[in-house]
Amino acid sequence: MSESSKSKSLNLNPSPTLQCKDLHEYLKSRSPQFLETLYNYPTICLAVYRELPELARHFVIRLLFVEQPVPQAVVTSWVSQTYAKEQAKACTTLSELSVWQEAPIPGGMPGWMLAQSFKKNLKVSLLGGGRAWSMSSSLEPDGKARDVSFLDAYALERWECVLHYMVGSAQTEGISADAVRILLHAGLMTRDAEDGSAVITRAGFQFLLLSTPKQVWLFLQHYLHTAERRSLSAAECLAFLYQLSFSTLGKDYSTEGMSNNMLVFLQHLREFGLVYQRKVPQRGGGRGEPGVRPPGAARWHHGRADHPLPGAARAPADAEVRDGRHPVGVDAAPHRGGPDPPVGVREEPLRLHGGGRLQPVPVAGRLRGAAGPRPRGRGAELAARARADHGGDPRRTRRRQEVLEALLQEQLVSPPGRSTRLLSLLANKIVSE
Amino acid sequence: MADDDVPSDSSLLVVIVDTNPNQRYIIEDPKMLTNVLDAVVAFSNSHLMQKASNELAVIGCHFHKSEYLYPSPGKPLDVRQIDGQYELFTLVEKTIKMRLVNLIKSQPQEEKPGESLLAGALALGLCFIARSRRSAIPGLRTSSRILVVTGSADTAAQYINYMNVFFTAQKEQVLIDVCSVDKHLSLLQQGCDITGGLYLKIPSLEGLLQYLLWVFLPEANERSKLVLPGRGRVDYRAACFCHRELLTIGYVCSVCLSVFCKFSPICTTCHTVFKIGGPPIKPKKKKMKV
Stretch A317-330: mean pLDDT = 27
Tell me the chain B residues in contact with residue A129 when contact means C-beta distances shorter than 8 Å: 83-85
Residue B69, pLDDT score: 93
Interfacial A residues in 147-186 facing B (CB < 8 Å):
none
**Min Cα separation A313/chain B (Å):** 6
Show residues of chain B in contact with A139, CB under 8 Å. Answer: 80
Q: Do the chains contact at B49 and A315, CB–CB below 8 Å? A: no
Low-confidence winner among A176-180, A326-330, A348-352 (lowest mean pLDDT): A326-330
- pLDDT confidence of residue A104: 87
Give the per-residue pLDDT at B44. Answer: 96
pLDDT band, very low/low/confident/very high, at A107 (cuts 50, 70, 90) = confident
Please answer yes or no on whether B51 and A316 come within 8 Å at the CB atom. Answer: no
A115, A134 contact by CB (below 8 A): no
List, for residues B128-160, the tens digit of each pLDDT value. 999 999 988 888 888 999 999 999 988 778 888
> Distance between CA atoms of B58 and B68, rounded to whole angstroms?
6
Q: Nearest-CA residue of chain A relative to B87?
A: A247
Specify the pLDDT at position B233.
78
**Are the beta carbons of B187 and B159 closer than 8 angstroms?**
yes
Please check whether residue A124 touches B, CB under 8 A.
yes
User: How sure is the predictor about A138, in pLDDT bands with cuts at 50, 70 and 90?
Assistant: low
Probe site for chain A from B45, B47, B49 (most A CB atoms < 10 A): B49
Chain-chain contact of A77 with B227 (C-beta, under 8 angstroms): yes
Burial A143-166 (b: 16+ CB within 10 A, else e): eeebebeebbebbbebbbbbbbbb
Alpha-carbon gap, residue A326 to A179, rounded angstroms? 31
> Residues A406, A407, A408, CA angle at the centre, nearest 5°?
95
Best to test chain B binding among A125, A256, A326, A350 (most B CBs inside 10 Å): A125
pLDDT at B1: 44
Residue B212's pLDDT is what? 95
- Of A92 and B289, the structure prediction assigns the larger pLDDT to A92
Cβ–Cβ < 8 Å for B62, B43: no
Asked if residue B255 lies in contact with residue B269, where contact means CB atoms within 8 angstroms, the answer is: no
C-beta separation of A248 from A354 below 8 A: yes
**What predicted TM-score, i.e. pTM, was given to this entire model?**
0.70
Q: For residue A163, which of A119, A127, A215 has the smallest C-alpha distance? A: A215
SS3 A76: helix
Most confident residue range from A122-131, A302-311, B71-80, B226-235? A122-131
Chain B residues close to A132, C-beta within 8 Å: 81-84
Q: Between A18 and A5, name the one with better pLDDT.
A: A18
Average of per-residue pLDDT across A63-82: 91
The number of angstroms, rounded, from the C-alpha of B278 to the middle of its chain's C-alpha atoms is 39
Residue A363's pLDDT band (boundaries 50, 70, 90)? very low
Higher pLDDT, A62 or A407: A62
Q: CB–CB of B45 and A127 under 8 A?
A: yes
Identify the bridge partners of residue A283 per DSSP, sorted by sequence position.
A286
The closest alpha carbon to A41, from A245, A269, A242, belongs to: A242
**pLDDT greater than 80 at residue A67:** yes
A397 CB within 8 Å of a chain B CB: no
What mean pLDDT do residues B47-73 have? 92
Measuring CA to CA, how many Å separate A309 from each of A50, A73, A422, B74? 12, 35, 25, 31
Which chain A residues are Cβ-neighbours of B53 within 8 angstroms? 314-316, 337, 340
Q: Is the pLDDT of residue A102 over 60?
A: yes
Tell me the nearest-neighbour CA distance from B240 into chain A, angstroms: 41
Q: Are A341 and B10 in contact (CB under 8 A)?
A: no
Q: Mind listing the pLDDT tens digit for each residue in A189-218?
A: 777 777 767 777 888 888 888 887 778 877
Q: Which 8-state DSSP code applies to residue A286?
A: B
Homologous superfamily in CATH for domain B10-224: von Willebrand factor, type A domain (3.40.50.410)
At residue B275, the pLDDT reads 79
A225 or B50: which carries more pLDDT confidence? B50
Q: SS3 sequence, chain B? A: CCCCCCCCCEEEEEEEEECCCCCHHHHHCCCHHHHHHHHHHHHHHHHHHHCCCCEEEEEEECCCCEEEEECCCCCCCCCCCCCCCCHHHHHHHHHHHHHHHHHHHCCCCCCCCCCCCHHHHHHHHHHHHHHHHHCCCCCCCEEEEEEEEECCCCCCCCHHHHHHHHHHHHHHCEEEEEEECCCCCHHHHHHHHHHCCCEEECCCHHHHHHHHHHHHCCCHHHHCCECCCCCCCCCCCEECCCCCCEECCCEECCCCCCEECCCCCECCCCCCECCCCCCCCCCCCCCCCC
Taking all residues of chain A, what is their mean pLDDT, rounded to a whole number? 65
Given this model, what pLDDT does residue A380 score?
Answer: 45
Q: What is the pLDDT of residue A171?
A: 56
How does residue A29 score in pLDDT terms, banded at 50, 70 and 90?
Answer: confident
Residues pairing with A100 in the sheet: A114
User: Which band of pLDDT confidence, cut at 50, 70 and 90, is reported for residue A8?
Assistant: very low
The larger pLDDT score, comparing residue A293 to residue A36, is at: A36
* Average per-residue pLDDT for chain B: 87
Would you state the pLDDT for residue B2?
45
Q: Is B172 on the interface with A (CB under 8 A)?
A: no
pLDDT > 90 in chain A, percent: 13
Tell if the CB–CB gap between A336 and B214 is shorter than 8 Å: no
Grade residue A165 by pLDDT with cuts at 50, 70 and 90: confident
Taking alpha carbons only, the member of A245, A241, A273, A263 closest to residue A163 is A273
The pLDDT score that the predictor gives to residue A173 is 64
Q: Measuring CA to CA, which residue among B3, B7, B111, B130 is closest to residue B62? A: B111
Res A151: pLDDT = 80
The pLDDT confidence band at residue A43, using thresholds 50, 70 and 90, is confident
Q: What is the pLDDT of residues B184-215, one digit of tens each?
A: 888 899 999 999 999 999 999 999 999 999 99
Say if residue B107 is exposed, middle or buried (CB neighbours under 10 Å; 0-12, 13-18, 19+): middle
- CA-only gyration radius of chain B, Å: 22
Would you tell me the crossing angle of helices A202-209 and A212-227 to the nearest 10 degrees?
130
What b-and-e string marks burial along A424-433, b requiring 16 or more CB atoms within 10 Å of the CB? bbbbeebeee
How confident is the model at residue A355, as a pLDDT? 25
The DSSP secondary-structure symbol of A45 reads H
HSE on the CB side for B67, CA within 13 Å? Answer: 23
Closest C-alpha among A246, A159, A379 to residue B49 = A246
Q: Is B42 exposed, middle or buried (0-12, 13-18, 19+ CB in 10 A)?
A: buried
**What letters, b where the CB count within 10 A reaches 16 and e where it falls short, cover A77-115?**
ebbeeebeeebeebbebbeebbbbeeeebeeeeebbbbb
Lowest-confidence pick of A363-372, B16-25, B245-254: A363-372
Of A78, A132, A337, the CB nearest to B81: A132
The whole-number average pLDDT for the span A124-148 is 74
Region for residue A231 given its phi and psi (left: phi exceeds 0; alpha: psi -120 to 50; beta: otherwise)? left
Contact status, residue A341 vs residue A320, Cβ threshold 8 Å? yes
- Domain ranges in chain B? 10-224, 237-279
Please state, in angstroms and rounded to a whole number, the distance separating the CA atoms of residues A271 and A266. Answer: 9
Per-residue pLDDT tens digits for A374-409? 344 444 444 444 444 444 456 655 665 565 565 555
Short-list B82, B6, B74, B10, CA closest to A254: B82
Of residues B92, B89, B103, B127, the one with CA closest to residue A246: B89
What is the structure's pLDDT at A246? 77
Sign of the C-alpha dihedral computed for residues A186, A274, A126 and B54 taken in this order: negative
Q: What is the largest CA-CA distance in chain A?
A: 85
Share of chain B above pLDDT 90, in %: 48
Q: Which residue of B has its CA nearest to A123?
A: B85
Q: Higher pLDDT residue, B15 or A106? A: B15
- From chain A, the residues in CB contact with B227 under 8 A are 77-80
B6 to chain A, any CB pair closer than 8 A? The answer is no
Residues 6+ away with beta carbon under 8 Å from A12: A185, A186, A187, A225
* Contact status of B42 with chain A (Cβ, < 8 Å): yes
Q: Residue A47 and residue A243: Cα distance in Å, rounded? A: 10
Percent of chain B surpassing pLDDT 70 = 93
* Residue A296 vs residue A41, higher pLDDT: A41
Q: Cis omega before residue B73 (within 30°)?
A: no
* Of the partner residues A57, A124, A340, the one whose CB lies closest to the CB of residue B52: A340
The whole-angstrom separation of Cα A92 and Cα B260 is 59
Whether the CB-CB separation of B173 and B2 falls below 8 Å is answered with: yes
Please check the confidence at residue B51 and state whether its pLDDT lies above 60. yes
User: Amino acid identity, residue B258?
Assistant: S
Q: Kindly list the distances between the CA atom of residue B119 and the CA atoms of B21, B24, B59, B243, in Å, as whole numbers in the listed order.
A: 18, 20, 12, 18
Residues B51-74 have a mean pLDDT of: 91
Cβ atoms A351, A390 nearer than 8 A? no
**What are the tens digits of pLDDT across the range A258-267?**
777 777 777 7
Measured between CB atoms, does A128 come within 8 Å of chain B?
yes
Q: Test B210 with A54 for CB contact under 8 angstroms.
A: no
Beta carbons of A130 and B10 less than 8 Å apart: no
pLDDT score, position A399: 61
Measured CA distances, B270 to A378, B160, B252 (Å): 77, 14, 12
pLDDT band at residue B229 under the 50/70/90 scheme = confident
pLDDT for residue B94: 92
* A79:B227 CB<8 A: yes
Task: Judge contact between A300 and A277, C-beta under 8 A.
Answer: yes
Nearest-by-Cβ selection for A337 from B10, B42, B217: B10
Higher pLDDT, A373 or A234: A234
Average pLDDT rounded to a whole number, residues A163-186: 73
pLDDT at B43: 96
* A129 and chain B in contact, CB less than 8 A: yes
Query: Could you tell me the strand order of the sheet in which A110-114 lies?
Result: A70-71, A110-114, A100-104
Q: How far apart are CA B264 and CA B253, in angstroms?
A: 10
Contact (CB, 8 A) for B154 and B201: no
Beta strands B259-260 and B251-252, pairing class: antiparallel
Q: How many CB contacts within 8 angstroms connect chain A with chain B?
A: 126
Q: Is the sign of the CA dihedral A50, A54, A58, A60 positive or negative?
A: negative
Question: How far does A377 lie from chain B, in Å, by closest CA?
Answer: 34
